[in-house]
Amino acid sequence: MPVNSTHLEYDANILAWQRARDVFGGEDAVKAAGEKYLPRLDSQDDKEYLAYKNRASFFNASARTADGYVGLIFRRDPNFKLPEANNGITAALTSFVEDADMLGTPLSAFTKKLVTEIINVGRAGTLIDWNEDAEKRAYAVAYSAEDIINWHTERVNGRNVITLVVLKETSKTAVAEADPYEPEVIQQLRVLKLVPSQSQSDQTKADWSYQVEIWQYLPDGQSPNGNRSRAKKKWKLTDTITPLRLGKPLPLIPFVFHGPRHSLPDVDKIPLEDIIAVNLDHYRLNADYKHGMHFTALPTAWVSGFDKNSSLRIGSSTAWVAEAPGATAGYLEFHGQGLSTFERAMDRDEQLMAVLGTRMLESRKRVGETAAAIELRQSGENSILNTVSLSISSSLTHALRWVYWWNSTETIPDAIGPDLVLATLNTDFSITGMSALEITALVAAWQAGAISQATMLDLFRAGEVIAPGRTNDEEIKLLATQKPPTAPVAVKPPMPASKSETPQPLA
């Protein structure tokens, strides 16, 4: 089997991923696909089809929905829990949070790109690698769904582990005989695999070691005319690396899969797949609607009984005069329900996209709605967002475990619990905030000893009572420095005046 072989699930989903990429890419990307999303009408030549396609407009409800989902998840910044001890591991994790990929990307921004990728295509991956040359630190490399072309899992020591991941990359290499300012881009495959160090009959988790192979798509010798660029290319193994930690090979592959519902290697459904399908149907309906309007909406003048050689101009300063008796003139105008059928069909698609995705796509109602009613209507999409947030929180926590593990002495990353590192994304998408009654109830529960002060402050922060960037210690210090509120002074209301004391109007 060649190194560039693809997984069966990859082959089954690559078209759906490309369709999603085109839709989220906008009108230019959808129209550039041509007949893939807009079939040619019968007897249309290239010029007619180009005009037919250009008249259509693409209402990108899918991208709007995805942006709304990402915005709701990042209404509040993600929380990354790190060890409290002031040691080298905490310093390494802090450095990772500030610069996750050694390209200056903070972990919060890295997470936002990851969430966007999951909502768009439902799949991504992160390699937690170690830079040994310069900074000697762990860093993350993100891979899209299309770049993870193959993977295998096997049962090792009573658990399923990843034994193979093939990643598609590009490498830029300066060619001596070419322009040094324009390096050659070479296709490259990074193969991550576990290789057993003992016989197949005595394999345990400790007996497997992590190995990296670099394959490049290079010319195979010279072409017949001496031009190397035109020579037949083939995949060649250019490098084999065995990463070490504490002088020993890694027992597992430091790669984390991300998905909308789980962090398993299995490919999951695209969260917005149904909206994408309806969105493309809306595009085709719009093309037919604009095509019909182009030929029927403008009135067309017609005459009968006029000289065929006469030149007739249309305008308020021009009069048509015919010498033949019975000559008539008029306008051809469209009457019927043909175009309104397309309008109703597009309206149904827009309503369906709103139901499938988010209520942001609905037209505003004329009557007022309570916050509880709005929250009830949005419960469906909130459940989808909650699932995505929890899934990515879990996979990001696993990535943080790998970073911790690179800098520690634990045997495997799974030995690092949530008390040391934890990633948490926002799961509260309510727009109502915390009511006065809820604030009073929380304070009463704290005063009664039912909850701790830290829990109360955390709930206040989640309810947007406390600023998100302010810690509990900072809030307590602010409370200690401010003056206690003075008790309100009761003011006795004045006694009403008697009838005899009521002033009389002047005569």
d(CA 26, CA 276): 12
In a domain, 264, yes or no: no
d(CA 208, CA 176): 41
CB-CB contact of 248 with 230 (8 Å): no
Give the Cα separation of 114 and 141 in Å (integer).
Answer: 11
Give exposure, 108-130, as e/b (b: 16+ Cβ within 10 Å): eebbbebbbbbbbbbbbbbbbbb
- Spatial contact of 397 and 422, defined as CB atoms under 8 Å apart: yes
3-state SS of 200-250?
HHHCCHHHEEEEEEEEEEEECCCCCCCCHHHCCEEEEEEEEECCEECCEEC
Tokens coding 428: 């509260």
Q: What is the pLDDT of residue 18?
A: 96
Residue 468: inside a domain: yes
- Asked, for residue 300, whether it belongs to a domain, the answer is no
3-state secondary structure of 417: coil
Q: What is the pLDDT of residues 33-78, one digit of tens each?
A: 999 999 998 888 999 899 989 988 888 888 888 988 898 889 888 9
List pLDDT tens digits, range 393-416: 999 999 999 999 999 988 888 889
How many distinct structural domains can be found in the chain?
Answer: 1
Domain range enclosing 476: 437-483
pLDDT tens, position by position, 319-341:
777 777 877 876 666 655 555 66
Q: How confident is the model at residue 164 (pLDDT cuts 50, 70, 90)?
A: very high
Confidence class of residue 475 from pLDDT cuts 50, 70 and 90?
A: confident
Is 502 contained in some domain?
no
The token pair that represents 111 in the structure block: 């997470």
Tens digit of each residue's pLDDT (9 = 90 or more) over 219-259: 876 554 555 556 688 999 999 999 999 889 999 999 999 99
Residue 467 lies in a domain: yes
Residue 453 lies in a domain: yes
Confidence tier at 95 by pLDDT (50, 70, 90): very high
Reduced to 3 states (helix: H, G, I; strand: E, B; else coil), residue 301 is: strand
Asked if residue 473 is part of any domain, the answer here is yes
